[in-house]
A and B are shown apart, each in its own frame.
Chain A
């Protein structure tokens, strides 16, 4: 059997997480559960991005005794996707915090988290 590479496992897991998150956003009625769905979606995208940047058998882009500066280009994985994912994680935290704050206020106003009770904009 052909060996499955590490990054393909990561990308598959990421895609499954993305789909789970999207399913959660689309079907759940509870606002908190929708936010959890969004978080899953977010995490899935991050895992896919890091998986894409991975190179077979290479190591982390940190230069020390293990990775000499001279041979760095041949031994490390791509640092760019990792930097991008860090940015994405921070933005994700910001969005999640905002959504939670809105959920908090909605709950205080209506004493419910059921999205179907919030039909003011429905025609």
Chain B
């Protein structure tokens, strides 16, 4: 009974806070100063048609670096936490066969999902999308593959190598911005190109490709770690 009262009190106070802030959470009539600056100077300074990408990769690029680091930490903690010893993995005795439809479909669809993921992160500076979304799509392709074939083993060597290299090159590109252009993660050291085409926005597509690979391999690593822990259960 006391528990219910406490729960209700916490929820009530929280609701009160949220409802009281509801008034000023309403939308503005026009862009605020920072956003106006992004909208007016963004296209010429950064050259990305997608302003959200401009904010993520260049204006607040350091944030993104921190974000990628957090994801890397998560992936490595999970890898450490769910580590299985080789001898623990026994050959499973009783596993339900996946259906014919899923198996066949996954063979056809998985490459297309990978392709879509790569498309999304290469075009991150032009269309809605980018490295994180593309990486997540790539990892979802891996999930489909594992669903269709639960005993498949994923090669962790490749995942680790791709992840480390793309993280390394992301930082290298940032430092190159520092040396050749205005500051850390400045993208203008590669020629900006024509606005709105694939080869534009300087280093943004390159950085986003590395972010996409890194996020894709990290999420794949998390998924395959969880799958391997399942194996010793069976």
A residues lining the B interface (CB < 8 Å): 5, 7-8, 11, 15, 18-19, 22-23, 26-27, 48, 51-56, 60-64, 69, 72-74, 76, 78-80, 82-83, 86-87, 89-91, 93-95, 97-98, 100-102, 104-105, 108
- Min Cβ gap B82→A in Å is 6
B residues lining the A interface (CB < 8 Å): 7, 10-11, 14-15, 18-19, 22, 25-32, 34-36, 38-40, 42-43, 49-52, 54-56, 60, 63-64, 67, 70-71, 73-74, 77-78, 81-82, 126-128, 130, 132, 136, 195-196, 215, 219, 222, 225-226, 229, 233
CB–CB A97/B14 < 8 A: no
Known: A54-B27, A56-B27, A108-B229. A23 touches B11 (CB 8 A): yes
Please name all residues of chain A whose beta carbon is closer than 8 Å to the beta carbon of B27 when the two chains form the complex. 5, 7, 51-56
Q: How far is the CA of A99 from the CA of B19 in the complex (A)?
A: 30
* Secondary structure of the A contact surface, majority rule: helix
Q: Which residue of A lies closest to B28 (CB)?
A: A55
Please name all residues of chain A whose beta carbon is closer than 8 Å to the beta carbon of B81 when the two chains form the complex. 101-102, 105
Known: A26-B10, A60-B128, A108-B233. A87 touches B196 (CB 8 A): no
Known: A22-B11, A91-B70, A94-B71. A79 touches B26 (CB 8 A): no
CB–CB A87/B39 < 8 A: no
Known: A23-B11, A63-B43, A64-B49. A15 touches B78 (CB 8 A): no
* Secondary structure of the B contact surface, majority rule: helix
- Min Cβ gap B176→A in Å is 23
Please name all residues of chain B whose beta carbon is closer than 8 Å to the beta carbon of A89 when the two chains form the complex. 132
* From A53, A55, A94, residue with most partner B Cβ within 10 Å: A94
Please name all residues of chain A whose beta carbon is closer than 8 Å to the beta carbon of B74 when the two chains form the complex. 94-95, 97-98
Known: A22-B10, A55-B31, A104-B226. A94 touches B70 (CB 8 A): yes
Q: How far is the CA of A55 from the CA of B169 in the complex (A)?
A: 37
Known: A63-B49, A100-B226, A101-B78. A11 touches B25 (CB 8 A): yes
